[in-house]
Amino acid sequence: YERWIQSQQLRKWDLRCLKLQPLSPVPSDIEISRAQSPKAVDVLAKEIGLLTDEIEIYGQTKAKVRLSLLERLKDQPDGKYVLVAGITPTPLGEGKSTVTIGLVQALTAHLKINSFACLRQPSQGPTFGVKGGAAGGGYAQVIPMEEFNLHLTGDIHAITAANNLLAAAIDARILHENTQSDKALYNRLVPVVKGVRGFSSIQLARLRRLGINKTDPETLTEEEISRFVRLDIDPSTITWQRVVDTNDRFLRKITVGQANTEKGFVRQAQFDIAVASEIMAILALTTSLEDMKERLGKIVVANDKKGEPVTADDLGVTGALAVLMKDAIKPTLMQTLEGTPVFVHAGPFANIAHGNSSILADKIALKLVGEKGFVVTEAGFGADIGMEKFFNIKCRASGLVPSVVVLVATVRALKMHGGGPSVSAGAPLKKEYTEENLQLVADGCCNLQKQIQITQLFGVPVVVALNVFKTDTPAEVDLVCKIAKQSGAFDAVPCSHWSDGGRGAVKLAQAVEKAANQKSSFKYLYSLELPIAEKIRVIAQKVYGAKDIELSAAAQSQIDRYTRQGFGKLPICMAKTHLSLSHQPERKGVPTGFILPISDVRASIGAGFIYPLVGTCHPQTYLVCIQLLCPDDLRICIQSLKRTGPKM
C-alpha cells in the first residue's frame, strides 16, 4: 500500500534528452525533423511521471493523456506559467512558436529545469496553403513534424463531426416543425416505449426553462405541448454554419434544401473552416468533461420568432455533441527535437476566437513540471490580440495567473514598422531588410515599446526575445535590446534557437527564470460588469490606442439584443486584423487618433465571449458620403461601390 501511495506522487523527472548536431546552412524543417529519432511516447510519458493507465497511445510518437491525472495530482503545487506573445508581425510571422520550443528545449535539455510547451494544433487548411505549419522551425520544433501538422489524433475531425451534427439538427428541426402537427412532433420527441412515455433529462430542463414544472408527459396541456415541441426558429437569424478543414473557397456561400425531400425549405448557408467552429473555442476553454457538456448545451444557434435565443440544449443534441468530443478533450503528448515534452491541444483562431491552446493542457502540464518547473504556452498574433485575449478570457476561465510574458520581436518586423517597404509572403525581401539600417530599426521600435506597455497594463513582467536572423547585424541587435530595456522590459535577449536549438535560447531561459521570481501584480483590463460597448471601448483605447469606437447600427442592435438576453457580462473577444494595432493593415508602427469601427457584434455563448467584428463602415455610410460629395454622379458612384465594396 505504501509503495502504491509512493507511485501516485509526483517524482523528479528522469528525462533522457536527445542530442542535437546542428548543421550549417540549416536544412529544411522536414529534413531536420526526419533526421532526429524521437523517443517512444510511452518512454517519454514514464520519464515525466505519467502512469501507464493515464495515457492512450496513438502509434509510436503520440499519446492522449487522461484527465484523471488532475485528480491524482490535485494537491501538487503548480509550476510557473509563461506566455509567449509578439509584436505586430509581418505577413511572414516572427517566430513565436519557434521561440516557445527553443525556450523549453533550453530550460529542460540545457538548464535541467522541468518544462512543458503547450501549443495549438494547426488547421489543415493553412498547412496546405501559404502559412505552413505551427510546429516551430529549424532546430526548435515539435517532432515528427508531419504528424503534428496533419491529422494528429483526430481532434479537428471530432470537432467537424460535432459541429455538422448540430447544423443538421437545426435544419431537420425546422423541416419537421414546418410539416407536422404538434401531436406528431410530440410523438417523435417523446415516443411511447413499451407502453410508457418519459422525458429525458434534457427535455425536463427545457420544460423548466419554459416554466412548465411537470414530469409526467401525459399531463401536459395542448398549449404546453405546443410550446414544448416548437422552437419556432427564425431561419434568417441562424448563425451556426457547417465546417470543413480545408480551404475550399467555393463553399463559402451555398444553398441548402434543394432536394425534393426537403419540401421546398431552401435557404442560403455557408461553410467555415473547422477550427473557426465555436466548438473549437469551447474545447480550448473547458476545464472538465462536465464543463464542456454544459458549454456545448449553451451554444446559441439562432433566435426564435420572438427574438429569444435557441440553444443546442433546446435542440436536444448536447449529449450527442459531448460523446463525439469525449476523446478530443484529452491533450496529446508529443516531444521537441531535444526530447522534452509538449502538449498539443485545441487550435482556435486568434481573430474570431481567443487564439490560445487549451486550459486543460496547461493545468495538467503545471502539475507535471512541479513547483520549480515552467509551462510555456503561446498566444496567436501580436500582444494586442492573442495576449489580451489570453489574459481577459483564458485566465478568467482557468483561474491561472501568469508569471512572465515573453515578447517576440525581429529586426525585420521593426524595420517594417519604421517605414520600410511592404513585406509579402513569397516575395524576396528588399535590401532595407538585408542590409544594416539603424534608423529604420530605431523608428520601428515604437511598436515594440507599445507592446511592452500593453503587457504592463496587466501587471506581468516582460522579457523581450529578439529572434535573430542571419542578416541582422550586431549593432541592430544591440540597439533593439537597449531600447527594449529602456522601455520597461525586465530583460531583452537575442536568440539563435532556430539555428542552434535549445543552446541558442539559454540566455532567454535564464532571463525568464529570473523574471518569474519577480513580484507579479496581475490584473484584468476591465470589469465584466461594464456594459458591452464600454468593454469594447476600453480595449480599443488602452490596447490599440484608438481615440474612440464607432458602432454601426447593426452592432448597436446586436449589443442591445445580447444585453436583453442576459449575455452582457461576458468578456470581449475582438475580431481584428493582426497586421496593425489599428483596424487598417497598412498602418504600421503605432497609429493614434483613429476611430475604431465596429461593423457587427456576435456571440459565442458556449465558449463564453462576445466577439465584435472590427472593420470599415457599412456601404450605406459610404453612400451618404458620396451623396454629399458628388450628387450629380451618384448613380456612377453607386455602381463603382458595388464593384469595389467598402474598401473603395
**What residues are labeled active site?**
96, 98, 120, 131, 350, 381, 469, 498
Cβ pair 348, 120 in contact under 8 A: yes
What is the four-CA torsion angle of 192, 198, 199, 201, rounded to 10 degrees? -130
Residue closest to 332 by CA, chosen among 574, 59, 30, 647: 59
CA torsion, ordered 181, 184, 185, 188, to nearest 10 deg: -170
Asked if 246 and 125 touch (Cβ cutoff 8 Å), the reply is: yes
* Residues pairing with 255 in the sheet: 268
Rounded to 5 degrees, φ, ψ at 97 are -65, -40
DSSP 8-state code for residue 328: T
Q: What pairing do the DSSP bridges indicate for beta strands 595-604 and 609-614?
A: antiparallel
Q: How far is CA 436 from the centre of its chain?
A: 36
The residues, any chain, with a CB within 8 Å of residue 576's CB and separated by 6 or more, are 351, 385, 544, 583, 614
| C-alpha angle 444-447-450 in degrees, rounded to nearest 5 | 145
Q: What angle do CA 617, 88, 434 make, to 5 degrees?
A: 125
Query: What CA–CA distance (Å, rounded) separates 382 from 98?
Result: 15
SS3 at position 207: helix
DSSP bridge partners of 407: 85, 464
CA gap 430, 618 in Å, rounded = 36
The partner residues of 609 in beta bridges, in order of sequence, read 604
Cβ–Cβ < 8 Å for 82, 406: yes
Alpha helices in 210-302 (DSSP H): 222-229, 278-285, 289-298
360 and 67 Cβ atoms separated by less than 8 Å:
yes
CA distances from 292 to 155, 244, 276, 297, 606 (A): 14, 22, 17, 9, 9
Residue recorded with cell 473557397: 249
Q: In 487-618, where does DSSP find H-type helix?
A: 497-500, 506-516, 532-538, 553-564
Number of H-type helices and E-type strands within the chain: 28, 21
Q: What is the Cα Rg of the chain in Å? A: 26
Residue with cell 455538422: 164
